Amino acid sequence: MQELNSFLYNLLLKVTNTEEIAYMFSTMIVGFLVVIIAFTSLYLVRSLLTKVALKFASKTKTEWDDILVRNKFFLGIAHFVPASIIYFTAGFAEPFYPGVSTVAGKIGEIYYMLAFVFTFNSFLSSANDIYNKSFSFANERPIAGLVQLLKILIYFVALMAFISIVFERDLWKLFTGLGAMAAVLMLIFKDSILGFVAGVQISMNKMVKIGDWIDMPSRGADGTVIEMNLITVKVENWDRTISHIPTYALVSESFVNWKGMEESGGRRIMRSINIDITSIKFCNSAMLEKFQKFRLIKNYVIQKQQEIDEFNRKLEVTEEQYFNGRRQTNLGIFRKYLEEYLHNHPMINNDMTFLIRHLQPTERGIPVQVYVFCKDKRWAMYESVQADIFDHIMAILPEFELRIFQNPSSFDVKELGKTLSITQIN
């Protein structure tokens, strides 16, 4: 390019007879040609590499080449060609404008550096995608945090290299002078450092992975983990909102991972229904005869009554002296009915914990708790099964002459007012 510049200079000098004008225009023309050649080469090399890469990727069965194309790895390589042209032709203005050659050389070096950063980032992104698609344990041990850390490091080195090129300082001396800035850098990259350490702990201890359902009330997160990186963990909540949790928070704070439930044989149903204590009573003959018509508890009622009759006969307890012997209660029979009903329910897993029990009586009655596991763990289906069970429980309770406890409502107050009015009239 120096020869071309000299040729144009001599040609322009004959035309203009002015050295300064000839210097300026010859340098401008050559510089413009360098830029045109550089970016024309970029277009040609990029088109060629892209076509060759796409053709090669379409013919292979492996997916790694498709990932490299998708992440524009070959585009980064193409940028090295114009960077080389600019760098190696930077001396075109040396005889006339040494400062222009120096600036052009710096532009070439910076272009080289940017091309390297772009290519290296594309390679890291491709490596992460290939890892996630190639290994079954990728969800349990993601490397997204490590990839992001390497990207931050290359950005930092590129920044230092940029300063070194622009201000013409030795790069090694710049790095050695960072000791005094260590505290500032620790503050700037605090989240990145904490996130990297937390990511290693999460991966090694298999605390959480992409696809897990986690519940973290302190961060307002309750949903599926969709992304884990160096800084944050993204959780898609059930209302389709996205919660961003700092990665280190999963180590320093408590959260619930529902993975165990999803991998088990069922999802727990644990709910109580409060029974009005005043509705609990001993069963008389009419009630027992009625309960024997219930298919699920017919045999139980008959066998239990035979056992009680035998016991009472031994103690010579008559029916009028029921308080001296044993009697069945409507609540006891109801509990047995509930057990049989749930044992025969197609969506209840009988191989897991199964309890129908009383809880401590309170001023709101006596809670009867259902503690079983639903086979279908999907949220919507689980809620539907649970609702159907308790719909049935509340509807069947009056058949056992039991009442659900409920605080007085406006309807109760109105009915009481009507009763008082009738009483006053009478």
Q: 172 or 366: which carries more pLDDT confidence?
A: 366
143-154 confidence digits (pLDDT tens): 777 787 788 788
Rounded Cα gap, residues 213 and 226, in angstroms = 10
What domain range is 146 assigned to?
2-201
| Helix axis angle, 19-59 to 2-16, nearest 10° | 140
Q: What is the mean pLDDT of the chain?
A: 81
pLDDT band at 401 (very low <50, low <70, confident <90, very high): very high
- DSSP annotation of 295 reads T
Rounded Cα gap, residues 341 and 345, in angstroms = 6
Tokens 């044992």: give the residue.
Answer: 343
State whether 20 and 132 are in the same domain. Answer: yes
Q: Residue 418: CB partners within 8 Å, gap ≥ 6?
A: none
State whether 231 and 275 are in the same domain. Answer: no
User: What integer pLDDT is reported at residue 425 of this predicted model?
Assistant: 61
Q: Quick check: 331 pLDDT over 80?
A: yes
The residues facing 145 across adjacent strands are: none
H or E stretch covering 114: helix 98-134
User: What integer pLDDT is reported at residue 133 of this predicted model?
Assistant: 82
State whether 54 and 166 are in the same domain. Answer: yes
pLDDT band at 302 (very low <50, low <70, confident <90, very high): very high
User: What integer pLDDT is reported at residue 93 of this predicted model?
Assistant: 57
**Residues 374/385, Cβ–Cβ less than 8 Å:** yes
User: What integer pLDDT is reported at residue 88 of this predicted model?
Assistant: 78
State whether 223 and 191 are in the same domain. Answer: no
State whether 284 and 237 are in the same domain. Answer: no
State whether 36 and 160 are in the same domain. Answer: yes
Rounded Cα gap, residues 192 and 186, in angstroms = 9
Domain of 384, CATH number, reads 3.30.70.100
**Residues 164/170, Cβ–Cβ less than 8 Å:** yes
As separate numbers, helices (DSSP H) first and strands (DSSP E) second, the chain gives: 17, 8
Domain count, the chain: 3
Helices assigned H by DSSP within 168-276: 171-176, 182-188, 190-205, 249-252, 259-263
Rounded Cα gap, residues 270 and 352, in angstroms = 13
pLDDT band at 281 (very low <50, low <70, confident <90, very high): very high
pLDDT band at 304 (very low <50, low <70, confident <90, very high): very high
**What does the block give as tokens for 124?**
């890291």
pLDDT band at 286 (very low <50, low <70, confident <90, very high): very high
48-88 confidence digits (pLDDT tens): 877 777 777 677 777 777 788 788 888 888 888 888 887 77
